[in-house]
Amino acid sequence: MTEQASAPEPPATPATVAHVIGQDHPTAGVAEDENTSTATAAAEPAPAPTPAPAAPVEPPSIPTPAPPPAAPSTGPDPASFGRVDPDGTVHVRTRAGERVVGQIPDTTPEEAMAFYTRRYESLAVGVDLLAKRIESGAVAPDEAAHQIKKERKAIAEASAVGDLDGLLERLDSLAPQLEEHRQARRAEKAQQQAEVRRTKEQYVAQAEKLAAGNDWRHGVNRFRDLLEQWKALPRIDKATDDELWHRFSSARSTYTRRRKAQFAEQASKRDSAASTKRAIISEAQKLATSTDWGPTSGEFRDLMQRWKAAGPAPREIDDKLWQEFRGLQDTFFAARTAAQNEQDQEFVANQQAKEALLAEYEPRIKPHEDLAAARSTFRELLDKWSEIGKVPRDAMRPLDGRIRALESSLKKVEDDQWKRTNPEAKARAEDTASKLRDQISSYEEKAAKAEARGDAKAAAEARKAADTYRSWLSSAEAAASDFSG
């Protein structure tokens, strides 16, 4: 596209010039004064070229432009990559050949060239800024690749004069660094994914352990916490994430199902326990006013065992049922205690009579001195004892203990006497003594024979054995003599 001028007009500002000559340039509409931001100019995309107007207007004389911003890097003079025709047409040279970038008539070649080299410098600033962002890692690799693509398109279509091929090479040189960033990000993402996977596997293991256990009270809250923590984690690859979630969700469903079944079973057991306890209360109501103290006490003990075996009823009624049953128990046992206390007062005289009887007979029962007399005296004591009758409950055990002590002393003496007069035991003791005597005679005979043949050692051993048997014979003869007493 070329830009032409006709009749002179009043002087125009740089913005007006840009409007006239740069409608097909990426920087059209931007004032080319010294305050214009080069980065902004570099970031603006290049619009598609438009046809020249049918009746071109001659632009006014262009004032001397402000000095361009410094190029981001040293290198060949941008103007060396272009030329200006006498009619103000500006060309740029690239490896692909030479092409026209625009026309500014009625101005010096230097001014026309400067206008288009400033556009190149804006492009160079944009490339430099993008390179620094990539080097610092401030931009994601995919976003950087997108920006590089945009910059390449802008440079390929730019109406600018300068080392455009050099800018493209600079963009190409960023590819290895961009790939390094991609690999680093992939490695970091892989590590993060591995950590997330390990964490999710731990959550799954905990969930499966909970699902197999019976922690019905705290398990629900633990599952809720695990679910919230799971939601806070990022997703990993779809196959693994779906598989782990399926295990976690299945464990949660299994726990919920088992918990509901457990509670349903417990509710059924509690209802059954409530029915059992109501039946026990009905039986207790019939026993509460009984005065048959002994049998009724046993029946209440049986009712208590059945109550414990029934298990808990629903919480809202269990305490109420217990209070009712306990009240019936208290009614019966309070009445029994009152009756027994009244009886105890009546039995005090019997207690005193039995204590006096023991005081009289205990000194007279001496089985070690005369077993037959002691046995006769004890029978006399028992006859009088049974005639007296019941004693207070607190006195029963001490009095019975004294009677049993007398009976035990008689039995011990009887047992000792039987041992001394037992014919079988006496015969065994005498037989043992006889065998020991035979052994002693045998060893004495061996000793005499050894001495006769001059074997002093054998004779000494035989006599030593005979002495050992003599010591045993003494014990055996003493045992046998006890039976003759």
Q: Please determine, for residue 115, whether its predicted confidence score (pLDDT) is greater than 90.
A: yes
Rounded CA separation 410/288 (Å): 46
pLDDT at 60: 38
pLDDT at 482: 64
Mean pLDDT of 222-231: 92
pLDDT at 160: 94
- Which of 170, 95, 188, 108 lies closest to 134 in space, CA to CA? 170
Rounded CA separation 91/117 (Å): 11
Rounded CA separation 454/450 (Å): 6
Greater model confidence, 287 or 62: 287
Q: Please determine, for residue 113, whether its predicted confidence score (pLDDT) is greater than 50.
A: yes
Cβ of 365: how many Cβ atoms within 10 Å? Answer: 20
Rounded CA separation 328/96 (Å): 113
pLDDT at 477: 75
Chain-centre distance of CA 341, in angstroms? 61
Extract the tokens encoding 331: 């009614």
Mean pLDDT of 82-104: 92
Highest-scoring range by mean pLDDT, 245-259, 375-389, 417-431: 245-259
pLDDT at 331: 93
pTM greater than the 0.75 cutoff: no
Quote the mean pLDDT of the chain.
80
Which value, in Å, is the radius of gyration of the alpha carbons in the chain? Answer: 61
Q: Please determine, for residue 364, whether its predicted confidence score (pLDDT) is greater than 60.
A: yes
Extract the tokens encoding 139: 């931009």
Evaluated on CA atoms 26, 28, 32, 38, the torsion sign reads: negative
Q: At what angle do helices 315-361 and 238-287 cross, to 10 degrees?
A: 50
Rounded CA separation 66/106 (Å): 19
Helices (H) and strands (E) in the chain, counts: 13, 3
pLDDT band for 322, please (50, 70, 90 cuts). Answer: very high
Q: Can you spell out the DSSP letters for 284-346? A: HHHHTT---HHHHHHHHHHHHHHHHHH----HHHHHHHHHHHHHHHHHHHHHHHHHHHHHHHH
Cβ of 431: how many Cβ atoms within 10 Å? Answer: 12
Lowest average pLDDT, out of 32-36, 90-94, 338-342, goes to 32-36
Rounded CA separation 134/119 (Å): 23
Which value, to the nearest 10 degrees, does the dihedral of the CA atoms of residues 253, 259, 260, 264 take? Answer: 160
How confident is the model over 145-195, as pLDDT tens digits?
999 999 999 998 899 999 999 999 999 988 888 888 888 888 888 888 899
- Which of 337, 339, 276 lies closest to 304 in space, CA to CA? 276
